[in-house]
Structure formats: C-alpha cells, structure tokens
Amino acid sequence: MAKFNTVEEIISWRPFPYKEEIYSLSHLDAHTAEYTDKEGKTYKYIVTYSFHCFAKDVPGLSEAENDQLIYQTRKDKRHFSFERYELSKHLPKIIRSLGEEPICFHGGHNRFIRYKIRDDEGNIINYFIAFKSFKEKKRLRLHIESAYPVTPEEKGKLKKINFFTIAHNTLHGKITRKPRP
C-alpha cells in the first residue's frame, strides 16, 4: 500500500460493530488509482472517502438506537446506514472505472456526479456520487464526499463532462466551469 501519511483525510476506516456483527469499512480505505486517456496521458490519484458514503443523519431514533448507530470521526458523527454501507462496497470499482467510462456529470461547486450501478441482484440503482478533484501537496486527490441512492425524479437534468477534462484541469490548476444551461 502506498504511503498516505501526508493526506489530510481518514486513510484507514475502523470497522463498525453492531449487534454482535462487525461491518468492515476497509473497502473505503485510501488507495491510488491511475487513469490513462486516449492520448496516453496518465493521471495518478490518491482516492479517499468521506463517512457520508456509509452514514447519514437519522432523526427520531430512540436514545438506545441513537447510541448504537453512531459512527464518530475526528470531526463529526452520524448514524451508520446499512443501505449506504452495502452500496459503498461498489465505490472502489466505480472509482477505478472512471478512466474506462470517462463520462461524469457536473454537479456545480467543483463537484461531479456519476450514477447507475447494477447491484448484486442485477437491479439498476441510481447512485449519486459527489466527488472533488483537487491537488494536495503537489499530488492529485479524488475525494468522494458522499454517495447515496436517488430516485430518477431526484436526479434532475445534468450536463455531461468528460472525466479526463476534470483530471487535466485539476493537474494544470484550471477551473472546470459549470456548463451553461
């Protein structure tokens, strides 16, 4: 595994214990990903994940439920979401495939979205994945800020953007502007 000691994010997620079951989060540990465009230019990213990929706020829980479901990080705490957790198992594969299927969607504020995954049963799930591409200490970073299922109505109309446009602009310090409506 590459050294990530200078990355300003959680690099190794601790498992979540719940009712005598341990839910491993190691699939969301920091890793590297390389993407090569059609011209042969390679972009090497350090990939990190936010706990929003497997946790969310759940109002109205009893005190006992609240205590059992809290997952706390250095900065924040939220409730463990079993639905998000199961979907998060697809994230590393989806992130690695960005170079194979370079189309993403522009979500504004330097965040880009990509959806449609097939679950283990073959069902199509509209999966909203918000990520940020940036440079940190002269290295490319891809931080997955959140990931969760959405209904087709929630998707809205989005403009496509090529992943390699994002990577190129990030590498060269250019702003990737939101497309015009």
The answer to whether residue 48 sits within a structural domain is yes
pLDDT, tens digit, 9 for 90 and up, residues 62-86: 888 888 999 999 888 999 999 999 9
Q: Does the pLDDT value for residue 5 go beyond 60? A: no
Range of the domain at 130: 42-171
Q: Write a three-state SS string for 136-148.
A: ECCEEEEEEEEEE
Confidence at residue 117, expressed as pLDDT on a 0 to 100 scale: 81
pLDDT tier at 43, thresholds 50, 70, 90: very high
Residue 15 DSSP label:
P
Q: Does the pLDDT value for residue 1 go beyond 60? A: no
Domain count, the chain: 1
pLDDT tier at 10, thresholds 50, 70, 90: confident
The answer to whether residue 68 sits within a structural domain is yes
Q: Does the pLDDT value for residue 6 go beyond 80? A: no
The answer to whether residue 6 sits within a structural domain is no
Q: How far apart are CA 161 and CA 178, in angstroms?
A: 9
pLDDT, tens digit, 9 for 90 and up, residues 98-156: 888 767 877 665 577 777 787 778 888 888 888 999 998 889 999 999 999 887 666 56
The answer to whether residue 66 sits within a structural domain is yes
Confidence at residue 101, expressed as pLDDT on a 0 to 100 scale: 73
The answer to whether residue 3 sits within a structural domain is no
The answer to whether residue 145 sits within a structural domain is yes
pLDDT, tens digit, 9 for 90 and up, residues 18-37: 999 999 999 999 999 999 99
The predicted model scores a pTM of: 0.87
Q: Which two tokens stand for residue 2?
A: 């590459």
The answer to whether residue 180 sits within a structural domain is no
The answer to whether residue 116 sits within a structural domain is yes
